[in-house]
Amino acid sequence: MQISSRFTIAMHMLACMDVFKDEYKITSDFLASSINVNPVIIRKILSQLKDAGLIEVKRGPGGAVIARPLDKITFLDVYQAVECIEENTLFHFHENPNPNCPVGKNIHCVLDDKLLRVQAAMEQELKSITLADMNSDLGKCLKK
């Protein structure tokens, strides 16, 4: 299992929006140059972040800005905005376990609850970290 790069790209974008907010107009081209990806990918993620209410995008001279205080946006907010995972479906279960096999017949009984607990723990940890935490750490790294 691997979470797509959309989450880390979104975090990078949000860090740039905060760090460079007073120096540059934050455009998809500007963000793409920092992240080193195609601006089309950036525009898709900008749209997802905007739909989630995490950023505002102003056409023309405005650019993108973070819509809420950094301490009010959690990693979970960003994860839920950009990852296409429905509730309680982080782990994709193989479609057709063999009902004639004792393991196949019972695998959901064995794993479903445990996988939900793992997902809940991950989401709880994501909820405990904010953009303010990330940008504080980024500030420490920039001073090195």
Q: What does the pLDDT read at residue 2?
A: 58
The string of pLDDT tens digits covering residues 66-88 is: 999 999 999 999 999 998 776 66
pLDDT (0 to 100) of residue 96: 85
- What confidence tens digit (pLDDT) does each residue in 44-69 have? 999 999 999 999 998 777 799 999 99
Q: 113-125: per-residue pLDDT in tens?
A: 998 899 899 999 9
End-to-end Cα, the chain, rounded Å: 34
Structural domains of the chain, with CATH: 6-143 (1.10.10.10)
Instruction: State the pLDDT at residue 58.
Output: 85
CB atoms within 10 A of CB 29: 11
The whole-chain average pLDDT of the chain stands at: 91
pLDDT(1) > 60: no
Cβ of 71: how many Cβ atoms within 10 Å? 12
Q: How many other CB atoms are there within 10 angstroms of residue 73's CB atom?
A: 23
What is the value of pTM for the model shown?
A: 0.86
Residue 74: count other Cβ atoms within 10 Å of its Cβ.
18
Which one, of 2, 142, 5, 10, lies nearest residue 75 by Cα?
A: 10
